[in-house]
């Protein structure tokens, strides 16, 4: 095995642990004067990676800690493999956990850190070594067993934390912002590797993050949380193209907020009329949430002027200012071949794609 973690060759694999169904049923968690979880229902299918996505303070960590048994729920229940684990302590729930802050024991070597969970379970030394080595190989650090935490980069420390979490072959893996302390490039690499390992092991995984790009990249399904509730759960594609609310539309992916007029389930924006995804807004003046690729630079529509236009490799992103009161700025994504210059007069309209609206 090479020790180059960024480009793993054919990695060794632990036997697949197989997936376990996990369910949070109506989970409420109250702290003094605060309801952190307000009735969370969430099912993770066996082997599935679900991301809990939401802004800071919305209750992600609390949900994960309830699942782990680190917090007692105020109401509702938690089920692992169809067993209600409400009275089961953390160390009996058969979970692996990785947190944002590096959490290796500084006085133990990498190998000793990984062995720790097996030592607690009184696994014999030889078996312990073999399984820990396998687990380190899995994360691409097979040759780093003798090092100490301070001799590793942040990304390597998180790999060790992952190896340590997986060495006991837990039924469920819990990751709380495991990449947030890393710089962007390391983050993307390790994110893909977590996904590869998770898929290979088939381990049911709850991955918490506030980073929507990370969520879309890694998840089978994403649960978007807002103020202690799950606002929408779906595949990354579903969340992006059919958000159920302004919150989800605004939190997941780039979005324009454009003035429109709502009438009987249809909204008029930039001279086009498209259908509406959420039906809880009264007719009248609204804000419509429109993706940059759903705006068309065309011969028709609302007149506007180009501010800036950037080449982004596979597409071009152009900022355009509408000749409307308030001069709203619209972000448009379009073909690379369609070159636009600052100051150029254009017209904007919408592709026929349903949008979310909010009362203005
Ligand atoms: P997130 O992980 O989404 O950033 P948390 O789950 O950590 O959010 O926190 C949700 C809310 O619960 C926040 O308002 C936070 O201040 C509060 N909270 C979390 N843990 C405790 C605690 N032990 N005691 C009191 N309030 C807490
Ligand atoms: Mg948190």
Report which of residues 3 and 210 the model is more confident about.
210
303 and 185 share one domain? no
- Cβ–ligand 1 distance for 36 under 6 Å, the answer yes
What CATH number is attached to the domain comprising 101? Answer: 3.40.50.300
* Ligand 1 geometric centre to CA of 181 (Å): 19
Question: 282 and 203, same structural domain?
Answer: no
Same domain, 216 and 325: no
pLDDT average, residue stretch 269-276: 95
pLDDT, tens digit, 9 for 90 and up, residues 93-141: 999 999 888 789 999 999 999 999 999 989 999 999 999 999 999 999 9
At 243 the pLDDT is 96
Whether residues 50 and 175 share a domain: the answer is yes
- Ligand 1: distance of its center to the CA of 65 in Å? 10
Domain-terminating residue out of 241, 274, 296: 241
Q: Average pLDDT, whole number, for the chain?
A: 93
Examine the domain organization and report whether 186 and 237 are in the same domain.
Answer: yes
- Which residues contact residue 339 at a Cβ distance below 8 angstroms, ignoring those fewer than 6 apart? 309, 316
Structural contact between residues 232 and 243, judged by C-beta atoms closer than 8 angstroms:
yes
What digits encode the pLDDT tens for the residues 160-182? 999 999 999 999 999 999 999 89
- Considering the domain architecture, whether residues 108 and 138 belong to the same structural domain is answered as yes
Q: Tell the residue nearest (CA) to atom 17 of ligand 1.
A: 36
Whether residue 3 is contained in a domain is answered as no
Is 65's C-beta closer than 6 angstroms to any atom of ligand 1? no
Same domain, 73 and 125: yes
Same domain, residue pair 261 and 231: no
Neighbours of ion ligand 2 (CB under 5 A): 61
Q: Is residue 54 part of a domain?
A: yes
Best probe residue, ligand 1, of 59, 65, 177, 225 (max atoms within 8 Å of C-beta): 59
Domain boundary among 176, 208, 241: 241
Residues 164 and 293 in one domain: no
- CA angle, corner 177, sides to 243 and 40, nearest 5? 50
Nearest listed ligand to the Cα of residue 55: 1
Same domain, 208 and 281: no
The answer to whether residues 289 and 173 belong to one domain is: no
Specify whether the CB–CB gap between 190 and 155 falls below 8 A: yes
pLDDT tops 80 at residue 34: yes
In a domain, 9, yes or no: no
**Looking at the domain assignment, is residue 269 inside a domain?**
yes
Report if residue 335 sits inside a domain.
yes
Distance, in Å, from the CA atom of 270 to the CA atom of 277, rounded to the nearest integer, reads 18
Q: Is residue 17 part of a domain?
A: no
Are residues 341 and 288 part of one domain? yes
User: Does the pLDDT of residue 11 top 50, yes or no?
Assistant: no
Considering the domain boundaries, does residue 271 fall inside one?
A: yes
pLDDT at res. 330? 97
How much is the pLDDT for 300?
Answer: 87
pLDDT digits (tens, 9 = 90+) for 62-71: 999 999 999 9
CA of residue 215 to ligand 1 center, whole Å: 20
Question: What pLDDT shows up at residue 17?
Answer: 62
Q: Which of 218, 241, 264 corresponds to the end of one domain? A: 241
Using alpha carbons, list the distances in angstroms from residue 286 to 103, 134, 202, 246, 356: 48, 57, 45, 11, 10
The per-residue pLDDT for 324 is: 87
Domain that holds residue 287: 254-359
- Overall number of domains in the chain: 2
Dihedral Cα 65, 70, 73, 78, nearest 10 deg: 70
pLDDT of residue 331: 97
Average pLDDT for 252-266: 94
CA of 159 from ligand 2 middle (Å) equals 20
């Amino acid at each position: 095995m090479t020790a180059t973690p960024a480009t793993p060759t054919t990695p060794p694999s632990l036997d697949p642990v197989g997936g376990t169904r996990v369910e949070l049923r109506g989970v409420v968690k109250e702290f003094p004067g605060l309801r952190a979880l307000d009735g969370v229902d969430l099912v993770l299918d066996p082997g599935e990676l679900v991301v809990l996505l939401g802004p800071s303070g919305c209750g992600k960590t609390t949900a994960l800690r309830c699942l782990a048994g680190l917090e007692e729920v105020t109401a509702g229940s938690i089920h692992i493999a169809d067993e209600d684990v409400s009275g089961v302590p953390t160390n009996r729930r058969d979970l692996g956990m990785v947190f944002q802050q590096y959490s290796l024991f500084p006085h133990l070597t990498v190998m000793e850190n990984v062995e720790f969970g097996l030592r607690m379970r009184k696994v014999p030394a030889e078996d312990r070594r073999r399984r820990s080595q396998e687990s380190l190989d899995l994360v691409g650090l097979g040759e780093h067993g003798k090092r100490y935490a301070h001799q590793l980069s942040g990304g390597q420390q998180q790999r060790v934390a992952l190896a340590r979490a997986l060495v006991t072959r837990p039924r469920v893996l819990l990751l709380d912002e495991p990449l947030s302390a890393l710089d962007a490039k390391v983050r993307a690499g390790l994110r893909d590797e977590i996904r590869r390992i998770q898929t290979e092991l088939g381990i049911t995984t709850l991955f918490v993050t506030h980073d929507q790009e990370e969520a879309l990249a890694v998840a089978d399904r994403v649960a978007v949380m807002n103020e202690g509730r799950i606002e929408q759960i779906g595949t990354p594609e579903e969340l992006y193209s059919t958000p159920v609310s302004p919150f989800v539309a605004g939190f997941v992916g780039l979005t324009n907020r454009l003035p429109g007029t709502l009438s009987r389930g249809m909204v008029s924006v930039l001279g086009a009329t498209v259908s509406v995804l959420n039906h809880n807004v009264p007719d009248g003046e609204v804000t419509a949430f429109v993706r940059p690729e759903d705006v068309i630079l065309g011969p028709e529509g609302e007149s506007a002027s180009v501010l800036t236009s950037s080449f982004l490799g596979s597409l071009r992103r152009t900022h355009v200012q509408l000749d409307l009161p308030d001069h709203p700025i619209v972000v448009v994504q379009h073909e690379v071949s369609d070159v636009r210059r600052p100051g150029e007069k254009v017209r904007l309209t919408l592709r026929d794609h349903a949008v979310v609206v909010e009362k203005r």
